[in-house]
Amino acid sequence: MKILIKNAIIVNEGKQLPGSVLIENEQIAEIFEGNDESILPEQADQTVDASGMYLLPGVIDDHVHFREPGLTHKADMESESRAAAAGGVTSFMDMPNVNPLTTNLENLEEKFRLASEKSRVNYSFFFGATNNNADQLPQLDPKKICGVKLFMGSSTGNMLVDQKEALYEVFRKSPMLIMTHCEDSGIISQNLNRCKELYGEDPSVEHHPEIRSEEACYRSSELAVSLARETGARLHIAHISTAHELDLLSNEGLDNAYSGHTCKQITGEACVAHLMYTQDDYKTLGTRIKCNPAIKTSTDRDALRQALTDGRIDVVGTDHAPHLLQEKNGGCVKAVSGMPMVQFSLNCMLELADQGILPLERVVDLMAHGPATLFDISRRGFIRKGYFADLVLVQPEQPWTVTTDCILSKCGWSPLEGHTFNWKVKYTFCNGHLLYQNGQIDEQYRGKALTFER
């Protein structure tokens, strides 16, 4: 089937230009620059007139929790991949803290099987490191698995790796990138005990950044960087939340970003929630924005925003972590941490672009080119001839407000309810298939497993 997307503004590899794209057999067959329709093919099975719209590579979200298997009362691969498609996300990388944990090869294969049956978009899965499974890491297939996830701090799912020798072995033996959750559990425990003494057994959520403090984040990230430098491992620090942690990162950017691979050893991810909110927002949004690491000060948020354009932050993900709304009841102890964000992440970043925080081209760098380059994803993340046609058409000046009836995540809520966006996702193409169109999803389509050029 041939699909022609014509009259778009193509945003790709640092440029904006008018043009059209021909899709054939899942791939980008041709890219036509300019508005001269006489150069376009005369026949196509379907034509999409993208006048007034921007054509971007599909978003690659390197950090989601789709909750399957074992936690499917909150979310599952089917529901969350539908939400992803509606948000222009064409590929995701899912975390291992499910039930059973993705900490052995058998459980990893089961997740791939489930995704092949259920996921609307493309997928890969992290293998979870533990205190005693480092010997399995050399058995992982680097061409199939996106990376190793290492929880160096308290986490949902009891996957804390806190033994120094075990940490060293993970860094030494991993055949691929290690993505770390960095918070020092000892510091968190001390802070929690102090807050309980002052505010009771379940301190109000406003105290969450006191408990999961800047020091807890920095000390753990500092240790991860030290281990990476000692062993030569590739390190990707997830959901950086403090200005201080940014001092651990270089501003060189991803080397050879448009060549599809990187030589940068230590990289950083920012998540949408830490770019959108500050601790002042706990007053109105409460535990809806409770996440780990905690949302912190406006100074931290502003530093993260600055790092989006100076090379210290390499990718933007969501840490999409849905829970039922009743599970968010309570304070720092009783309310669970995490929020659903995958459906609205691109909208949030386009809003920051409108505010002058970063150029539109940089949004594409951070959400498509960067993840593809960092993880060495094969033929995705760019609008290039011969690449898979993972594409999203977005239209500006289309105000709309987030309401419960438009939320596709299974949990049924969002901290963004009531928020009005100026950009709207109109079409999402996955592997050349028109998956999402003006609010409708093709329920029959299934995505593909990502592959990696390592």
Residue 257 has pLDDT above 90, yes or no: no
Residue 256 has pLDDT above 60, yes or no: no
Read off the DSSP letter of residue 367.
I
pLDDT at 153: 72
Residue 184 has pLDDT above 90, yes or no: yes
* 432: nearest Cα among 397, 399, 385: 385
- Confidence grade of residue 193 (pLDDT, cut at 50, 70, 90): very high
- Confidence grade of residue 36 (pLDDT, cut at 50, 70, 90): confident
Long-range own/partner contacts, residues 386-389 (CB < 8 A, 24 or more apart): 386/27, 386/28, 387/27, 387/28, 388/26, 388/27, 388/28, 388/431, 388/432, 389/3, 389/21, 389/23, 389/26, 389/27, 389/28, 389/429, 389/431, 389/432
Residue 178 has pLDDT above 70, yes or no: yes
Residue 186 has pLDDT above 80, yes or no: yes
pTM of the model: 0.97
Q: What average pLDDT does this structure show over 246-274?
A: 84
pLDDT at 255: 62
Alpha-carbon distance of 40 to 50, in angstroms, equals 14
Q: What average pLDDT does this structure show over 49-56?
A: 97
Q: Encoding tokens for residue 295?
A: 């949302």
Could you tell me which CATH number the domain at 59-374 has? 3.20.20.140
Alpha-carbon distance of 368 to 390, in angstroms, equals 10
- Confidence grade of residue 32 (pLDDT, cut at 50, 70, 90): very high
- Catalytic site includes residue 319: yes
Q: Encoding tokens for residue 405?
A: 């009836």
pLDDT at 162: 84
| Chain Cα centroid distance, residue 87 | 12
Q: What average pLDDT does this structure show over 81-103?
A: 98
For residues 394 and 320, is the Cβ–Cβ distance under 8 A?
no
Q: From the candidates 94, 314, 319, 365, which is the catalytic residue?
A: 319
| Residue 444: exposure state from Cβ atoms within 10 A (0-12, 13-18, ≥19) | exposed
* Annotated domain spans of the chain: 2-55+386-441, 59-374
Q: Could you name the CATH architecture of 2-55+386-441?
A: Roll (2.30)
Residues 6+ apart with CB under 8 A from 439: 86, 406
Q: pLDDT tens digit string along 369-411?
A: 999 999 999 999 999 999 999 999 999 999 999 999 999 999 9
Q: pLDDT tens digit string along 222-234?
A: 999 999 999 999 9
